[in-house]
Each structure stands twice: as structure tokens, then as C-alpha cells.
Amino acid sequence: MTCTSGHSRNRHVGEELGRGKTLPEILKEMGMVVAEGVTTARGAYTLARRTGTATPIIDETYAILYEGRDVPSAIRNLMSRSAGQE
């Protein structure tokens, strides 16, 4: 499924984060079902740090998922930065 499908686990996680739930709360509700984007975000963030690659969108996604940053703050951070590559 893509993130545009109503059946997408990744979409579900994103919508719940947008409603203010934390990742642990969402994953607990989902049970054993895995949203692959959650683990992919960690891997992408780790790889970017290891290679010194600037990845502002990945950084904010990681901060939401694993550091408790709220979605509105992450959006503000992204929208207030100078345009660049990613």
C-alpha cells in the first residue's frame, strides 16, 4: 500500500502522530503490525549521520518519531529554513 491508501499502515501512523499521539502509543494500539516507514526513518537518519549528509526532512521525521517533537514544531522548523537540497 502507498501512504495515500486508507489501508496504509504508514498513513495510519502519520495521521495518529498528527492527532498528537506518541509513537509508542500508536505502536501499542497497532499490536504486532509493522509500519515499515517507522524503522526506515531510523535507518535513513542513522545513515545520513554516518555519511554527514544534510537531510532536514528525515531529521524532523526522526525527531517526531523518536525524540517526541510535535508535528507543528517540525513543520515550522522545515518551513523556516532556507531552501536547499534534499
Length of the chain equals: 86
- pLDDT at position 54, please? 92
- The 10 Å CB-count burial string (b at 16+, else e) for 15-33 is ebbeeeeebeebbeeeeee
Cell 496504509, located at residue: 8
- pLDDT at position 46, please? 98
> pLDDT (tens digit, 9 = 90+) per residue, 9-50?
989 999 999 999 999 999 999 887 778 888 999 999 999 999
- pLDDT at position 84, please? 72
Contacts 24+ apart (CB under 8 A), 40-48: 41/65, 42/66
- pLDDT at position 43, please? 96
Domains and CATH numbers, the chain: 9-80 (1.10.1040.10)
- pLDDT at position 73, please? 96
